[in-house]
Structure 1
Amino acid sequence: MASLRSTKNTDLEAALAAAINNKTKPLGSLGRLEELAAQIGLIQQTTTPKLNAPGIMIFAGDHGVVAEGVSAYPQDVTWQMVENFLAGGAAINVFAKQNGIDLQIVDAGVNHDFGAREFLHNCKVANGTCNFAQEPAMTSAQCQMALQNGRDLVARLSGNVLGFGEMGIGNTTAAAALMHKLSGVAVADCVGAGTGLNSAGILHKQKVIEAAVALHAKVTEPLDVLACFGGFEIATMVGAMLAAAERRMVLLIDGFIVTSALLVAAKMEPAILDYCVFSHQSDESGHARMLQVLGAKPVLQLDLRLGEGTGAALVYPMLQAAVNFLNQMATFGSAQVSEKSAG
């Protein structure tokens, strides 16, 4: 039973539209920034929204389906990239620092022991999922544990903007399987190159997913689909997304894998989409179609396909601009500027 409340509010929508339209500019001339300002105002239920303590969480996990040869990189790259995040050497570190965003890393199920580390949350459900080409990726209990871990992480946050990133060799395969099962889009239209597969590799990945879908044909409910085909990092993201929306946070959605987690969350709580800013359209094949399924309008189109939450970090200044013009820009009356005449 869906319980998350929509942000829809007719009176507030009218008040926000009036505030935006009364700024010293032609109607609609700030384009998408006006839409963002109105959306953030509705999320926060105010005509004077504020952004504070923005954060991005990178959820990392390993995938048993890598055993089927679906990735151009070995599984060890997952933990090696987590080390790179912790050392400050990845693209997301650069972009988060540039924009004053707090960055935290979540070990949701990496096949590696990191020990106690600053900025690393140990939420490991297991050392990677099972191979969903042979058996469900996780048990129902493991899936519920991952969801709760995500909720618990958000409960400790103080900010009102949360971006989502991921790292996990094999997770585009999991995301494509989730997309197919939850949207009905053909597997061939869900599968892409991931970390760099050639055309033969993409076709092989497609066949692996098609065989797995046939094996688990009876699985249809969103949480069952998540447990069967997902990853621990994806399931933990689902829990975090739901908790963040319940706290009326702005959710910054990154690329293909993050959007697959949102697809699961939206099947559970459709109103979550009101809280989401879709940062960009990934260059990963399938993401544009997934955005269409969700009725989503991405802010940026930069041909990104890195993941890590990089799109979420890059779009944050657009949110700042939207909130700042709404709060700081003069009105026609205050600036004594003549408005457009009728006719």
Structure 2
Amino acid sequence: MPTDAAFSVSELQFTSMAALRAACLSLPERDLACGDRIRQRDAALTKPPGSLGRLEELAVWLGEWQGTDRPALDKVQITIFAGNHGVVQRGVSPWPSDVTRQMVANFEHGGAAINQLARNAGAKLNVVCLQNLKPTEDLSQTAAMTEKDFLSAVSAGYRAVPKDADLFCPGEMGIGNTTPAASLCAALLGGRGSDWAGRGTGLDNDGVRLKAAVIDDALALHSPILSDPLEVARSLGGYELAAIMGSVLAARHYGIPVLLDGFVCTAAVLPFVKITPEALDHTRLSHCSAEAGHRRLAAALALKPLLDFGLRLGEASGSGLVVPLLRGAIACHNGMATFAEAAVSQQSAPPTE
């Protein structure tokens, strides 16, 4: 596979865009043999073929990336990446940037929705603050991040992934971060600000129109670099979005399946996909956010959400809900008896509904 710089998965600090690009092009593949064994076992279980629907596919997905025909979720890691955004000064959010730090404290004290969902899912929860929550520059006036700060954020995300995790679930917290998310979508998938701007944390109609205009300003300003996905991520993104991309890259290198969350999380990995189309093979989309643009983004990336609950909280809340569903898929695959073990004739198996 051609690369423009040497890369080793032991390298936890990207020192150049070339090294990061090389890492994005050096991706291990799934264990197809494990997938074949899982399908063979599934065909022998005491149920009509295909009767567990997507649960069957999820067992294959987990097993192929974990490299085992008996997948497990003993070590599930949810990590929230938090960052602030200079573009908030343009009025793109009804909430002040101070709320990001306040919510981080809420996470740390166990008071947020994701704390409850992680506990219910049997997952470990961690929070990573980027740049000590110093805001990026205003992406509508200049590049959001310097190259050094962008690479630092990507590296922080990469380092945040435990190598022994069975499943990794990135989440985000950052007042105003739906604006850089929408900007990335417009820059890399096409369209104007009005095609991607949504209500975020509660904008009214005038606020949405302002947000769309700010995105259009950013697209015009950064038009010379829109053909380079990493430069787009640096110029129109944010610290926590860069860290999410780094974490999903690390999980791929470590062979760890990933649950993506809502609009911001999905937009964060869009530059990765634009470099390597198969970049998200190890991921599944936990849910479809109510935020405008997420359904369109998911369709563009061929990601089929597992839930559609009208969530728009972020925080990896959708992933927290899906982990128990994945546990159900594994329990059925690992625990069900085969027809031979249960002495059940396959010819007399009950029909599907």
C-alpha separation in 1, matches of 2:189 and 2:156: 26
The question of whether the paired residues in 1 share the 8 Å contact of 2:143 and 2:236 is answered with: yes
The question of whether the paired residues in 1 share the 8 Å contact of 2:261 and 2:287 is answered with: yes
Give the C-alpha shift of residue 313 in structure 1: 0.7
Aligned position for 2:180: 174
C-alpha separation in 2, matches of 1:333 and 1:177: 56
The question of whether the paired residues in 1 share the 8 Å contact of 2:170 and 2:247 is answered with: no
1:23 equivalenced with 2:45 (yes/no)? yes
The question of whether the paired residues in 2 share the 8 Å contact of 1:60 and 1:110 is answered with: no
1:39 equivalenced with 2:61 (yes/no)? yes
Aligned position for 1:254: 261
- One-letter code aligned to 1:70: V
C-alpha separation in 2, matches of 1:8 and 1:268: 23
C-alpha separation in 2, matches of 1:309 and 1:6: 25
1:84-143 CA distance string (max 9 Å, x none)? 1111100001111112111100001354xxxxxxxxxxxxxxx11000111000011111
From 211, 216, 220, give the equivalent of 1:205.
211
TM-score by length of 2: 0.88
Give the C-alpha shift of residue 267 in structure 1: 2.3
When residues 267 and 52 of structure 1 are mapped into structure 2, their CA distance, relative to the original with a 3 A threshold, is farther
- One-letter code aligned to 1:196: G
From 237, 242, 249, give the equivalent of 1:230.
237
Aligned position for 1:323: 330
C-alpha separation in 2, matches of 1:31 and 1:58: 30
- One-letter code aligned to 1:3: S
1:164 equivalenced with 2:186 (yes/no)? no
Secondary structure in structure 1 of the residue aligned to 2:88? helix
C-alpha separation in 2, matches of 1:320 and 1:98: 12
Aligned position for 2:36: 14
C-alpha separation in 1, matches of 2:279 and 2:292: 24
From 263, 268, 281, give the equivalent of 1:274.
281
- Backbone CA RMSD of aligned residues: 1.6
- One-letter code aligned to 2:221: L
The unaligned stretches of length 5 or more in structure 1 are: 112-126
The unaligned stretches of length 5 or more in structure 2 are: 4-24
C-alpha separation in 1, matches of 2:197 and 2:82: 21
Report how many residues are paired.
325
From 207, 219, 227, give the equivalent of 2:225.
219
Aligned position for 1:57: 79
TM-score by length of 1: 0.91
Q: 1:5-154 alignment to 2 at 5 Å?
A: 5-7=28-30, 9=32, 11-111=33-133, 127-154=134-161
1:335 equivalenced with 2:351 (yes/no)? no
The question of whether the paired residues in 1 share the 8 Å contact of 2:28 and 2:255 is answered with: no
C-alpha separation in 2, matches of 1:209 and 1:110: 26
C-alpha separation in 2, matches of 1:223 and 1:264: 6
- One-letter code aligned to 2:142: E
The question of whether the paired residues in 2 share the 8 Å contact of 1:59 and 1:167 is answered with: yes
Deviates more, 1:61-70 or 1:35-44: 35-44
Secondary structure in structure 2 of the residue aligned to 1:274? coil
1:207-260 CA distance string (max 9 Å, x none)? 110111011101121110011011101111111110011111111111000001
The question of whether the paired residues in 2 share the 8 Å contact of 1:60 and 1:109 is answered with: no
Aligned position for 1:189: 195
C-alpha separation in 1, matches of 2:95 and 2:124: 29
The question of whether the paired residues in 1 share the 8 Å contact of 2:258 and 2:284 is answered with: yes
C-alpha separation in 1, matches of 2:109 and 2:233: 31
C-alpha separation in 2, matches of 1:186 and 1:7: 37
- One-letter code aligned to 1:55: Q
C-alpha separation in 1, matches of 2:248 and 2:286: 15
C-alpha separation in 1, matches of 2:42 and 2:324: 19
Aligned position for 2:19: none
1:126-176 CA distance string (max 9 Å, x none)? x1100011100001111111111111222x453221111100011000000
From 288, 304, 309, give the equivalent of 2:316.
309
The question of whether the paired residues in 1 share the 8 Å contact of 2:192 and 2:216 is answered with: no
C-alpha separation in 1, matches of 2:338 and 2:195: 48
Give the C-alpha shift of residue 8 in structure 1: 6.5
